[in-house]
Structure 1
Amino acid sequence: MASLSQFLLFFSFLFCLKNTFPVLGFQSNFALFPVAKDAATLQYVARISHGAPLGSTDLVVDLGGSFLWMDCNSGHVSSSYRLISSCSVNCSRAKFHDLGSTSCLLNTNCYVSPYNGVTGSTSMGELVEDVIAVDSVDPSDVGQSTTVDHFLFACASTFHLQGLASGAKGMMGLGKASISLPSQLSSSIGHPQKFSVCLSSSTGVLLTGSGDTVFGTKIARSLAYTPLITKQNDYFINVQSIKINGRRLAVHEQGKLEAKLSTVVPYTTMVSSVYAIFSKAYVEAATKMNMTRVESVAPFGLCFSSKGPLVPEIDLVLQSEMVKWRIQGRNSMVKVSEESMCLGFLDGGLEQSSPIVLGGLQMEDNLLEFDIGSSMLGFSSSLLLKETTCSSSLQDSTLKQFF
């Protein structure tokens, strides 16, 4: 975590250099959060600044989380956070999707259920509100820091941090719920109901609102779009078919190939029936390209000699043959030694709820725009094909002074 700590420490320093101001009446294009990958857990960690005095907390990014939660005792301790009453409007907002949780008792606190997306466990936590500070851009002035008052999140117990990256004190939920990070910032700061992620093995970014200023109009306007499906707080896309080196796989018999997008799963997983067809076809394509199979290395099922630069192309065909999410090279293979590399697609077992779960590796260096208002997902496929990366795109943008 040395590089992660140094990177996020730099952002904390930036906050100390700027003055913050009330958000009322302020309109901005976006709010930005730096994201770094933890090498040990392969989780993506973002940093927020919050409380009084203003301090920082590292949180694991969870696309399917319904709200932000943290251990309020062992991390940065704020003197300004306030408990929310169980009979308040904000408590009702937080429990909107919790059936049977609409009753309240006077003079009692609002309890919610923070979900640890890494371990799959749920605990009880208190809903609170506090101030957070975000890097944002005013249309007339680049690079200001803005405070958002009355931001809602949950305080969870220390034991609920199990499974999270070292130093992380909670999770940043990006789901569609009314108190998720994107939802609250959209209503507080006044930017569009959308957020973007550009993950990387090094420096990445999460931003709410419009990303044109950060990534440039050339990349932002080159995105392909596909319908975005929301279930509970998870985001899904429909996959009409899978192709390997242009050859369509016979997976239509497995039913609808719905794919969930996940930042807490490091590699794409497929239900066993789909993976069996996929892995067989991949081996056939690799053999035709003179790739040599080598002994598998856990958790991977297929490994090859790393000699030779080319590997099969994987296409997820979405609503039509014209709309494809292409996965190749760095987004499909994991280097496990100097001599071998393994396919970053795993057998998710017979009981996996979604036929496909797209993991972090497949999303890296791919600009993803979640447009909640129009229920569309914009995606760039690999930025490497455009001779850039998430990191270099940020450094080339008007916000390069942040990196």
Structure 2
Amino acid sequence: MFSLLINLLVVVVAFIVIHANEAMAAYVPPYTSMVVPVNKHTDAAKHLYSVQIMTSYVNMQFLHSNFLIDIDAPFIWHECILEWNMYRPDSCPADTLCTSPVSCEEYQCTDVRTSYAYENPFCPQPTNSSTLPGWGFCTCPVNVVNPVTGACDQALLNYDAYFFNTSDGRIPFDGFFGGYPNAACVPPSSLKSFPANVTGVMAFSTSQYALPEYLYQPLKKSFSICLPSTSSAHGVLFYGTGPYYLLPQSNVDLRSYLSYTPLLKHPDSFGYYIGVNAIVIKKRSINIPANAATKLSTIDPYTILRTDIYNSVVRRFSMVTKQIRPAKPVAPFGLCFSITSTNVTKASSKVPEIDFNLQGGKKWTMSRENSIKQVTNDVACLAFVDGGATNEPAIVIGTFQFEDNFLVFDLENSTFGFSSSLLHKQTSCANFNFTLTHGP
């Protein structure tokens, strides 16, 4: 009799679990994405971009912090204070982000150190010698690498929390969604080279400790970046599968502009790679070796080409722009033109598009806005940089080529979506309506 009751209980529990899972799978949230503003920063050694994210809830309101967008970083790190007793009165200074520590004895500590640590020969070997006052456990030091300088530093692993406004793709709602990743705390001295008001690095890589890994429910694992070309207006980052809209075309889903190519994996990186078969300039194709990897970067400001590829691109571009008066090169560029701010429109008609022919037969077009950089009032340059004869990867596509392009990293289907310049669609990445409204 007792055995019969046990078996009946097992059947009932299984029935409840199955139907609960079915209900969760069938659940359709009243929003389609999460959305955060993107800022362009021009006050560091190179142009960088950050997301503005809500962090801890202090004095009846959320703190907002800016984090550099890094699609290669293995985990999140930022300025904060570890506080093991968060409930102690006045334990955290006003307007300061305080988080809970991860002990060196917890599995996350070993996992991050052995599987997701930054690969850098100059990083010191982490130890378990640090502790917090009044805490009976060792903390978990981990290495981080500054994306601005390349310098290595140590941080302390923590338990973090971030909050995001939800959206229908047109406007943000006042409701929010939370993510609770492991991150790492650094002192203010680690951020000296960062742009003003940027206090950390937000990892959007393929690592198990990057932000996308913590946000996938109930949304599909996909994020979209639209980098602004100006520091005076916000770009936008979505998490979710869309739709996505920019003003003034409030009824045009940006997904209708996208072409797709496979995202490729690299054994030594958590970043994102695509296959480039050729670079085409005015119908002349520059073939790319089959073993040449192409990486996408939100840290490098301009596309970097290995010397053999760079020389071929410059040679061809020079040949088809003979009508534009050359100028003395301005570092870091090797090919420059005499294009003043007053005749830029006229010169644009003489600048050819640059097509990246991608795996799968698609073409990513770099228009004049993403290929020519105005560096002074009188000089503009081809925004491609010589990476050296042994540069690996052979091609790194940088942020100048991303600006005002809508880019989708679909992690579930391992595809990369790209729009080419939105300026030719009479909109830009600065045109999302961030007016907060009540949710549906």
2:97 is matched by which residue type in structure 1?
S
SS at match of 1:192: coil
Distance 2:401 2:97 in 1: 37
Give deviations 1:207-244, integer Å, cap 9, x for gaps.
Answer: 22123144566321331110101332111111001101
- Contact 2:34/2:177 (8 A) holds in 1: no
- 1:283 Cα shift? 0.2
Q: Which residue of 1 aligns with 2:242?
A: 211
Query: C-alpha separation between the residues in 2 aligned to 1:227 and 1:57?
Result: 33
Q: How far is the alpha carbon of 1:75 from its aligned partner?
A: 10
Q: Which residue of 1 aligns with 2:401?
A: 362
- 1:157 match: 187
Give the C-alpha shift of residue 361 in structure 1: 0.6
SS in 1 for 2:198: coil
TM-score normalised by structure 2 residue count: 0.76
**Taking structure 1 as reference, are residues 104 and 162 closer, same or farther at Cα in structure 2, changes over 3 Å only?**
closer
- Deviation track 1:329-379 (CA, whole Å, cap 9, x = no partner) reads 111111123332111111112232111111111001111100111111011
1:35 aligns with 2:38: yes
SS at match of 2:330: coil
Match of 1:51 among 56, 67, 74: 56
Please tell me whether residue 372 in structure 1 is matched to residue 372 in structure 2: no
Name the structure 2 match of 1:200. Answer: 228
| Comparing 33-42 and 114-123, the one that deviates more | 114-123
Gaps of 5+ in 2: 1-26, 82-92, 118-124, 130-135
Partners of 1:138 and 1:144 within 8 A in 2: no
Percent of aligned pairs with the same amino acid: 29
The CA distance in 2 between the partners of 1:178 and 1:277, in whole Å, is 39
Deviation at 1:159?
Answer: 3.0
Give the alignment of 1:90-105 within 5 angstroms. 90-91=108-109, 94-95=112-113, 97-98=115-116
Partner of 1:62: 70
- Normalising by structure 1, we get a TM-score of 0.82
Corresponding position of 2:332: 299
- Is 1:385 equivalent to 2:415 in the alignment? no
In 1, Cα distance between equivalents of 2:371 and 2:70: 21
1:337 match = 376
Q: How does 1:207-286 map to 2 (within 5 A)?
A: 207-215=238-246, 218-231=253-266, 232-249=269-286, 251-252=287-288, 254-286=289-321
SS in 2 for 1:221: helix
In structure 1, the residue matched to 2:104 is 86
Give 1 or 2 for the bigger CA radius of gyration.
2
Confirm whether residue 316 of structure 1 aligns to residue 362 of structure 2. Answer: no
* Greater CA drift, 112-121 or 36-45: 112-121
Match of 1:119 among 135, 139, 149: 149
Q: Which is worse superposed, 266-275 or 161-170?
A: 161-170
Per mean C-alpha deviation after superposition, the further-off stretch among 104-113 and 127-136 is 104-113
Report what 1:10 is aligned to. none
Describe the shift of the 1:360–1:40 C-alpha distance in structure 2 as closer, same or farther (beyond 3 A): same
Give 2:330's aligned amino acid.
Answer: V
Contact 1:257–1:355 (CA<8 Å) still a contact in 2?
Answer: yes
- 2:329 aligned counterpart, secondary structure: coil
Q: Aligned to 1:361, what secondary structure does the other structure show?
A: helix
CA contact (8 A) 1:326 1:381 kept: yes
Letter in structure 1 aligned against 2:402: M
Cα RMSD (Å) of the superposition? 2.9
Q: Distance in 1 between matches of 2:304 and 2:310?
A: 8
CA gap of 1:78–1:337, structure 2 versus 1, over 3 A, is closer
Rounded Cα–Cα distance in structure 2 between residues aligned with 1:217 and 1:192: 22
Secondary structure of the 1:33 match is strand
Q: Could you tell me which residue of structure 2 aligns to residue 22 of structure 1?
A: none
Q: Is the 8 A contact 2:51 2:69 kept in 1?
A: yes
2:141 and 2:156 in contact (8 A); partners too: yes
Name the SS for the 1:391 alignment partner: coil
Structure 1 alignment gaps of length 5 or more:
1-24
Q: Distance in 2 between matches of 1:76 and 1:113?
A: 26
The total of aligned residue pairs comes to 365
The one-letter amino acid paired with 2:275 is N
Residue of structure 2 in register with 1:13 after alignment: none
- 1: CA distance, partners of 2:254 / 2:226: 12
Secondary structure in structure 1 of the residue aligned to 2:208? coil
Distance between the aligned counterparts of 1:277 and 1:75, measured in 2? 56
Which residue pairs with 2:4 in the alignment? none
For residues 249-269 of structure 1, give each alpha carbon's deviation from its aligned partner in whole angstroms, at most 9, with x where no partner exists: 2x44x5533211111111111
1-structure distance, mates of 2:401, 2:253: 22
Instruction: Give per-residue Cα distances to partners, 1:62-110, cap 9 Å, x unaligned.
Output: 111122110215995234x2111233344355446248x9x99993223
Instruction: Find the aligned partners of 2:173 and 2:71 in 1 and give their Cα distance.
Output: 26
Q: Is the 8 A contact 1:50 1:131 kept in 2?
A: yes
Find the counterpart in structure 1 of residue 365 from structure 2: 326
Matches of 1:314 and 1:381 in 2, distance apart?
Answer: 11
1:15-62 deviation digits (Å, cap 9, x = unpaired): xxxxxxxxxx99452221211111233111222221241312221111
Point out the more displaced range, 234-243 or 205-214: 205-214
Distance change >3 Å, CA 214–CA 112, structure 1 → 2: farther
